[in-house]
A and B are shown apart, each in its own frame.
Chain A
Amino acid sequence: MIIRRLGGLVVATLALAACAPSTAQPADTGDAKTGTLRVWLFDEAGRAPKEALVNEAVAEFRAAHKDVSVDVSYLATDAAARAAKFKGAFNDPASAPDVTEFGSTDLAGYVAAGGMADITKDIDGWSEKGDVPADMMKTVTVGDKAYGLPWWVGVRALYYRTDLFSSLGLAAPTSYAELVEAAKRIRAAQPELVGITVGGQYVFGALPFVWDAGGDLATRSGATYTATVNTAASKAGVKAYTDLFAPEICPAQQCVDLTGGKTVSTFAAGTAGMGIIGNFNRSAIDAGPVKGKYAVVPLPGAKPGTIAPAFAGGNNLGVMKATKHRTLAVQFAQLLASKKYQLKLYDALGNLPTMTSARAEVVAKDPFLKPFMDTIAAGTRFVPADPAWTTIDSQKIVINMLQKIITGKATVDQATEEANTLMNNAFAGK
């Protein structure tokens, strides 16, 4: 009796609430000139130097804005946890920071989620705008609006062990064929090493081979992307990369589940002859036993003397749409993204500046950067700037494709065809 009545009550309550979860209300954005500015930055393996330069910027900012305090939080490097943070900030504007650092591949998704503020006009009025190269501006632009300031950029090139190369009488490879040859010679001479460390989960290591072969993951026509990973050119690139997972180069058992980060630690530990590694990984390499025993050249393309196009990754600084301190947020982002702090960031972490003049300065200072600059000069590429990239990335479509080929579960034709369909589904929003 009682329970039945109660059951009725429950049903009634549910009926009353019969509507979808309320979506985030448009944040009542404001432009307060005082208060606390909340800033999210990415944590780093060695955070201290980054923290020091950020604290310096905060001090400079507060000297100009007496009634403002700046609260900086560092987000965990774990990608899933970081994604959860951003989703939380989009879904609950009250929890959103004012300024945030973000990876350039995530921008399209963040904009679709309505999380980022359009700061095109603010950039137009920025004194340092002229120093930002056009290709860098592209990485912060969705449609024709800019949503961030390019902060730093990273590219990968071929690290190789000079000690091994000279003892075997090898020269730095200038073509894919030479790279394969060198890798085989190294492993034949020292079977406990892999010739080149590559990873089945290392998408940014695989893409240069696809681009070099004239292929791409997807091409854009108008506002939409179409997957092109099943084209002959793309397949040739995929084959070139997955062919490296051969017993005489980098055995599938050992290499199929390596991530980009793992290939870095493999090379750093001295168990690989070569590796496709970023300029930003230099300190990690130098912390290990191979310090002083390696050199860097651009990753060679199939045609002798060419450079395989590299992925131009990097992080930007943006203003969240939900900010209640829009002007201050833009000013702080501009300060942190200024040439002065880009140079300090390079000194702290080795992250390449995005500004033309800043980049020229560090390159002049440090010859180590030359192969990376050559790579950039040869032209860099990017993943599809579409919200669907988040889906492609989190569903591991490209990784599964590579791993199926590497483990022999599928041929190049089968795996690329399957990935192509899945990517098109993602672009169609399915």
Chain B
Amino acid sequence: MTRRWLPNTAAALAALVTVFPIYWMVLSALKPTGEIESSRPRPWTWHPTLEHFRHALGVSGFGRYFLNSAVVALCVVALSALIAFLAAVALTKFRFRFRTTILVLFLIAQMVPVEALTIPLFFEMRDLGRVVPGVGLNTLVSLVLVQLAFSLPFAIWMLRGFVAAVPDELEEAALIDGASRGTVLWRILFPLVAPGLAATSVFSFITAWNDFIFAKTFIISATQNQTLPAALLVFFKPDENDWGGIMAASTLMTFPVLVFFVFVQRRLVSGLGGAVKD
């Protein structure tokens, strides 16, 4: 044990440095305004207050925005996991022409700056909304659709390794036993790839949860369909930022992601490890 004191201390120190900004965020959210704006900041407070959280939650519709963000993020996670799984199977368990081309296209897709696509997508969504009511601008569906499109290429790319890690013999044995392709896909491959799905869902979740640019561009008149990042904006004032409000809202925004992470963490690690066996 003693020979481990050096790495142990190093790890604890690294953890401290890494978590400090998060600690500062939560702390500032709990400090009274006077202490936040003091020119002598202290890394503790004797007068914790929930006033900023109350204020943040009191902003009209914050709860609603929270729910909207969660709905969008979870829909994107579920759909992208499902679709990416099928595509990853196609791209790893089959050999066909243009397979590599498609893979490279998925990679290239990640290189397009998202900001540049907002304008064409805006028009597409507007026109779509005129044809199919309920999916155009100002709807959560429009956000789910674009987030799905932006998370898929990476999700497929990540999942490939996990699917490849499942030995071909398993499926072949099942096929010989007379199982249908559907059974092989859902009963054998899917459960085995599940840790990988957890790992990739983390990315889809973050993309969707943090999205600001599409929420800002697409949700124009239907304020009830705004998502969290838009609510955060309320605290940025031209004359003086409401730091307490910003920190409280940031805490509220970070927390669900952290919970999601801790929830999938074990699968994340075992999943990402699985990709190596490729």
Q: Judge A-B direct contact (beta carbons within 8 Å).
A: yes
* A contact set with B: CB distance below 8 Å: 1-4, 7, 21-22, 38, 43, 45, 73, 76-79, 81, 84-85, 88-89, 91-92, 94-97, 259-262, 264-265, 268-269, 281, 284
Hey, which chain B residues are within 8 Å of A97, CB to CB?
Answer: 221
> Which residues of chain A are near B102, meaning CB under 8 Å?
3
B216 surroundings in chain A (CB, below 8 A): 81, 84
For residues 215 through 261 of chain B, which have their beta carbon under 8 Å from a beta carbon of chain A? Answer: 216-218, 220-223, 230, 233-234, 236-240
Contact of B123 among A21, A84, A259, A268 (CB under 8 A): A21
Bound CA–CA A195/B215 (angstroms)? 43
B123 touches A91 (CB 8 A): yes
**SS class, residues of chain A in contact with chain B:** helix
The chain B residue with its CB closest to the CB of A93 is: B126
Q: Which of B97, B126, B220, B238 contacts A85 (CB 8 A)?
A: B220
Q: How far is the CA of A261 from the CA of B238 in the complex (A)?
A: 5
Interface string of B191-232 (1 = CB under 8 A from A): 000000000000000000000000011101111000000100
Task: State whether B233 touches A78 (Cβ < 8 A).
Answer: yes
CA gap between A81 and B37 in the complex, in Å: 26
Judge whether B278 is part of the interface by a CB distance below 8 angstroms.
Answer: no
Residue in contact with A91 in the complex, picked from B126, B129, B221, CB distance below 8 Å? B126
CA distance A21 to B137 in the complex (A): 15
Inside 8 A of A92's CB, which chain B residues have their CB? 122, 126, 137, 220
User: Which positions in B face A, CB cutoff 8 Å?
Assistant: 37, 96-98, 102, 119-120, 122-124, 126-127, 129, 137-138, 216-218, 220-223, 230, 233-234, 236-240
Q: Which residue of B lies closest to A91 (CB)?
A: B122
Complex formed: what's the CA distance from A2 to B230 in Å?
Answer: 44
Q: How near does chain A come to B118, taking the closest CB pair, in angstroms? A: 9
Q: A3-B98, A3-B102 are in contact. Are A96 and B233 (CB under 8 A)?
A: no
Counted as pairs of residues, one from A and one from B, with CB atoms less than 8 Å apart, the total is 81
Given A85-B220, A89-B220 in contact, is the A3-B234 Cβ separation under 8 Å?
no
| B223-A73 in contact (CB<8A) | yes
Quick one: which of B119, B123, B233, B239 contacts A81, CB cutoff 8 A? B233
A260 to B238, CA, bound (A): 8
Query: Contacts A4-B98, A264-B239: A76 and B234 contacting too (C-beta < 8 A)?
Result: yes
Q: Quick one: which of A1, A21, A43, A262 has the most chain B CB within 10 A?
A: A21
Docked pose: A169 CA to B81 CA in angstroms: 73
User: CB-nearest residue of chain B relative to A284?
Assistant: B239
Complex-state Cα separation, A377 to B106, whole angstroms: 64
B137 touches A261 (CB 8 A): no
The one of A7, A81, A94, A264 that contacts B240, using a Cβ cutoff of 8 Å: A264
- Given A76-B230, A81-B230, A81-B233, does the pair A261, B239 have CB atoms closer than 8 Å? yes
Q: Which chain B residue shows the least CB distance to A40?
A: B221
Do B123 and A77 touch across chains, with their CB atoms under 8 A apart? Answer: no
CA of A391 to CA of B66, assembled, Å: 34
Query: Please, which residue of chain A has its CB at the minimum distance from the CB of B101?
Result: A3
Most buried by A among B97, B127, B237: B237
Q: Give every chain A residue within 8 A of B234 (Cβ-Cβ).
A: 43, 76
Which residue of the partner chain B has the closest CB to A82?
Answer: B233
